């Protein structure tokens, strides 16, 4: 398996991913700082999460587990921490300028579309999305390598999905 020009194998150097997720709190400046920090730590890649409030929630959906003092709902949180497509372009360009692979976990089909438009080189599937068959099928259409987190799944579920990837000739790296 390769992501851009980096081989992913037991014999290759580590492919170190600096996880930002939503740690930027919706601040483009903070996200840019995290990219710089990833570079200074000799990461290979920097990874974000793309949540689009209108695609994943409604203004009336309550918190499942409240954790934000400033956001009344999940929708509010995702809306506050979202970037525009143009801002995502800026982040990807900054990562590439610094020699980092830009990775991002999509949480909706629209996020997949945006990431395709950004021409990402690989997908990162969050463990909570492993059972989102619509999302997985959409990612497989691209034939790009997939890094799959599977921490919320049973081993037989992981094996079944890995078999699907193999049958479709899609490179996958399993994280468990």
Average pLDDT along the chain: 94
Whether residue 88 is found in the same domain as residue 168: no
Task: Note whether 71 and 117 are same-domain residues.
Answer: yes
The tens digit of pLDDT for each residue in 147-162 reads 999 988 999 999 999 9
Q: Is 103 in the same domain as 145? A: no
Position 39 pLDDT exceeds 90 = yes
Model confidence over 45-81: pLDDT tens digits? 999 999 998 998 888 777 677 777 788 888 888 899 9
**Confidence at residue 154, expressed as pLDDT on a 0 to 100 scale:** 92
**Pairs from 136-142 (Cβ < 8 Å, separation ≥ 24):** 136/161, 136/164, 138/109, 138/112, 139/106, 139/112, 140/164, 140/165, 140/168, 140/170, 142/116
Orientation of helix 85-97 relative to helix 109-117, angle to 10°: 50
From 74, 94, 121, give the residue that closes a domain. 121
- Which one of 75, 90, 121 terminates a domain? 121
152 and 116 in one domain? no
Using an 8 Å Cβ cutoff, are 77 and 26 in contact? no
Q: Are residues 97 and 141 in the same domain?
A: no
Residue pair 100/48 in contact by the 8 Å Cβ criterion: no
Number of domains in the chain: 2
Q: What integer pLDDT is reported at residue 59 of this predicted model?
A: 81
**What is the tens place of the pLDDT at every residue in 117-142?**
999 999 999 999 999 999 999 999 99
Q: Which residue has the tokens 């994943």?
A: 56
What pTM did the predictor assign?
0.93
| Mean pLDDT confidence for 106-127 | 97
Torsion from C-alpha of 100, 101, 107, 113, nearest 10 degrees = 120
Same domain, 117 and 127: no
3-state secondary structure string across 145-163: CEEEECCCCCHHHHHHHHH
What is the spatial distance between Cα 91 and Cα 70, in angstroms, rounded to a whole number? Answer: 25
Output the six-digit token pair for 50.
Answer: 């793309």
d(CA 107, CA 119): 17
* pLDDT computed for residue 116 by the predictor: 98
Residue 68: domain span: 1-121
pLDDT at position 64, please?
72
């Amino acid at each position: 398996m390769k992501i851009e020009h980096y081989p992913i194998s037991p014999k290759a150097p580590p492919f170190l991913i600096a996880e930002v997720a939503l740690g930027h709190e919706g601040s483009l400046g903070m996200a840019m700082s995290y990219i710089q920090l990833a570079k200074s730590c000799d990461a290979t890649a920097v990874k974000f999460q793309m949540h689009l409030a209108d695609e994943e929630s409604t203004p009336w959906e309550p918190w499942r587990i409240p954790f934000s003092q400033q956001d009344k709902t999940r929708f509010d949180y995702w809306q506050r921490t979202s970037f525009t497509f143009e801002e995502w372009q800026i982040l990807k360009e900054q990562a590439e300028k610094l020699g980092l692979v830009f990775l991002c976990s999509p949480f909706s089909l629209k996020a997949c579309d945006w990431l395709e438009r950004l021409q990402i080189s690989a997908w990162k599937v969050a463990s909570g999305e492993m059972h989102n068959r619509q999302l997985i099928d959409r990612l497989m259409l691209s034939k790009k390598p997939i890094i799959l987190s599977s921490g919320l799944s049973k081993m037989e579920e992981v094996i079944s999905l890995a078999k699907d990837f193999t049958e479709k000739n899609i490179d996958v790296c399993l994280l468990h």
